[in-house]
Chains A and B, each alone.
Chain A
Amino acid sequence: MACRNMAISESAYDYFPNPTHYDEMVTSGNNRPHYQHVAEWLEQTPLDSILQSRHQADAIFRQQGITFTVYGDNAGTERLIPFDIIPRIIPAHEWQVMSKGCEQRVLALNAFLHDIYHEQHIIKAGIVPAEQILTNEHYQAAMKGLTLPNHIYAHIAGIDLVRHSNGTYYVLEDNLRTPSGVSYMLENRKMTERLFPDLMAKHKVLPVHQYPDYLKSTLLEASPSTSAPTIAILTPGRFNSAFFEHAFLARSMGVNLVSGSDLVVKNDVVYMKTIKGLERVDVIYRRLDDAFLDPLAFDPRSMLGVSGLMSAYRAGNVILANAVGTGVADDKSVYPFVPDMIRFYLNEEPILENVPTWQCRKPADLSHVLANLPDLVVKEAQGSGGYGMLIGPAATKAEIEDFRAKITQCPEAYIAQPTLALSTCPTFVAAGIAPRHLDLRPFVLSGKTVRLVAGGLTRVALKAGSLVVNSSQGGGTKDTWVLAE
């Protein structure tokens, strides 16, 4: 397959990635071996047929209500997350490195969380400044001294990975609070199996369907002192953007989906209100942020949480997954220290690298950032969802100056990173098959052992040249195929 200097193809089998970016399918004008079958399929399949498959997928997702609620969307509150039918393929040897790297990283982060809520060795060793942790908005003093089973805080973690033009994967950020997206990973796989069984059969793709079983095992192991713990998923309700996922996981695991009003705390024990009376709950997979969990302990205005939940938690009568206070470890201002955490707690060198990061709270870093805003990506240290970012190369002068003022006013609230040339992947767009930037979120489950299903959620930016992959801002998803060999 030729690689010409055109951005968008006119037929299904013409694909012209930018040669300065790492493309997942094409290198130096040739298909990578693991993409050979897909490339042939693209060459042989008329655009109309691909479009028809796309419409079929959309219709099925719509019928099944696999939607994402977007706040402030004038078009209606429920939207489909665009599903791109062209899979993202990862060879076995790459996944082996990624999975080990993610596992290593989460082990270190859990060790860090246990440490900062107990002896704080890493602070005493001078590796992480005390003020970075103790004044962090997400550091929860209520967790000080509370020892959790197996010392696990982040039972479910989503590690966002990107591949740079040199082919290396970097960790973009850690998600240790309420990482979402796994349901789309599972539904995308079902869709691909349904629409393209023959294409899939040409590849030895590792399965992902066991994720709900892994998750349930992880949650059961979170409460080792109880012989048959009762699990519930705590959701903010059906108007939450990720409600589909909450309901999906509850059904898949065969556990109850509860709202705050379904729970009551009596004598520091949490109960569900059922048709047979109160039933004790031992493990809560909570999809609420800390602030909303318990109006007696946190935000008193919260209507979503459970009064007394924190008291039950501190009494050891209920497990919360993820634990309260994990946000301090996935804070962008703490992210630069993760490689040091790996060395400190595990005595190992990091398998996966961080993206170089400047912390605006440091005067030298601040000077560099302010002098190079047009070339950098600037993020709020405690932001998420792709909001509150400046992508320098794509920003106007006015946007850059606006951000300069914000950073100058409150430098500790921002970090900056170089603009990575994220890898691209063939994606079906309005004009045909075109390269689009993407990332990958593997999900790491920490119980008695660390478990990952192969792959994760691939998120793809659908606009040409865009680096924003978040679904809340128009990004789509792909099925992720990790090959067995």
Chain B
Amino acid sequence: MLLLSTAADLYWLGRYFSRSQELVDLLLASFKDSSPESLGIPLSITGTWQNFYQQYMTLNVESLAEFFITANNATSLTACLEATRADAQATRGRISGELWVTINSLWLEWQERITHVGTYSDHWASFDWLKQSLQTVQGLIDGYADDETKRFIIIGQLVEALDNAFRKLATPDAAVPLNTEIAQWAVLLLQRIESLDKSLWQHTTQHSQDLVQVCQLCSDEGAMMNMQEIQQTLQRLTHSLADVFAA
């Protein structure tokens, strides 16, 4: 029987893990382009312009890479991976030994690598390695046999994907997912939530249904997403999840 606290840890494991995946993809894309506009996209999406310029004089590939490695940045890859690992550790009585060892090994290797990065090529190699390693973890999650455990990791991943999509929509020059993709994520999220016990998850299910409706409307009509309404709906959903976890 899955504890609420474990479900919460698995949800956040999914969110931080996805955040790591999104961030490393974003950074690799920015490095590839390396124009000022491109380099600024990760800072815009994470809302860290001010934090960046408190630590660095110039925005370039090296400083951007370093900023998103450093533990001094709460939105950095290191911070996301550390949180992922912490949630995996908290749930190691539940998740498979293989998943735990893979996440833990990834964290240990990352810590080792970031002590040696200096040049741009070092950063690129580390981020590229991280991208591959995160895909390995995703493979384990996708093939996970325990439905209850997997459900909450996936809920976390879908919430993070939606949150990230809306941030990208609000960021000029960012590559945004299609409306149909966003709508599909909302549907997948609802499928995961609505099979939960009605007595506990009623409000969460309702907010998830609302989210699907709003996303579907925009997708069907090909209209610009009503960002404020969607983000508020998503926020109500995440708040209701937090309320149940804390019950």
Contact = CB atoms under 8 A, between A and B. Distances in A.
Given A250-B93, A276-B200, A63 B104 contact: yes
Nearest to A249: B93
Contact of B1 (A247, A251, A256, A261): A256
Nearest to B199: A277
A172 interface: no
Nearest to B100: A65
Interface stretch (B2-10, B37-45, B165-173, B175-183): B2-10
Interface in A256-299: 256-259, 261-262, 272-277, 279
A55 interface: no
Contacts of B94: 251, 257
B223 interface: no
Nearest to A274: B1
- Residue of B86, B200, B201 most packed against chain A (CB within 10 A): B200
Given A62-B108, A64-B101, A251-B97, A275 B7 contact: yes
Contacts of B4: 262, 273-275
Interface residues of A, number: 24
A272 B5 CA distance: 10
Interface string B152-188: 0000000000000000000000000000000000000
B148 interface: yes
Given A63-B105, A63-B108, A65-B100, A277 B200 contact: yes
A261 B8 CA distance: 13
Contacts of A277: 197, 199-200
A118 B18 CA distance: 58
B1 A272 contact: yes
Contact of B92 (A63, A247, A259, A261): A247
Given A238-B89, A251-B93, A257-B94, A273 B199 contact: no
A275 B3 CA distance: 6
Contacts of A63: 101, 104-105, 108
Nearest to B4: A273
B90 interface: yes
B92 A251 contact: yes
A274 B2 contact: yes
B207 to A, nearest CB: 17
Interface string B104-115: 110010000000
Nearest to B92: A247
B5 A273 contact: yes
B104 A273 contact: no
Contacts of A275: 1-4, 7, 148, 196-197, 200-201
Given A63-B101, A262-B4, A276 B89 contact: no
B247 interface: yes
B92 A65 contact: yes
Interface string A1-42: 000000000000000000000000000000000000000000
A246 interface: yes
A272 B3 contact: yes
Contacts of A250: 93
Contacts of A259: 5
B25 to A, nearest CB: 26
A262 B3 CA distance: 7
Nearest to A279: B1
B102 to A, nearest CB: 9
A274 B3 contact: yes
- Residue of A233, A247, A250, A261 most packed against chain B (CB within 10 A): A247
Interface in A398-443: none
B164 to A, nearest CB: 25
Interface string B84-99: 0010011011100100
- Residue of B4, B90, B93, B101 most packed against chain A (CB within 10 A): B93
B148 A65 contact: no
Interface string B211-237: 000000000000000000000000000
A256 B3 CA distance: 8
A262 B7 CA distance: 11
A258 B197 contact: no
Interface string B1-43: 1111101000000000000000000000000000000000000
A335 to B, nearest CB: 34
Interface in B55-73: none
A259 B93 CA distance: 12
B3 A65 contact: no
A279 B3 CA distance: 10
B112 to A, nearest CB: 11
A256 B197 CA distance: 19
Nearest to B5: A262
Contacts of A64: 97, 100-101, 104
Interface in B92-138: 92-94, 97, 100-101, 104-105, 108
A144 B85 CA distance: 45
Nearest to A233: B93
B27 to A, nearest CB: 26
Contacts of B101: 63-65
A300 to B, nearest CB: 23
12 contacts: A64-B100, A65-B89, A247-B92, A247-B93, A258-B3, A262-B3, A262-B5, A273-B4, A275-B4, A276-B200, A277-B199, A279-B1
Given A256-B3, A275-B3, 12 more contacts: A63-B101, A65-B89, A238-B89, A243-B89, A256-B93, A261-B5, A262-B5, A273-B4, A274-B1, A275-B196, A275-B200, A277-B199
Cβ-closest 7 pairs across A and B? A257-B93, A250-B93, A247-B93, A247-B92, A63-B105, A276-B197, A274-B1
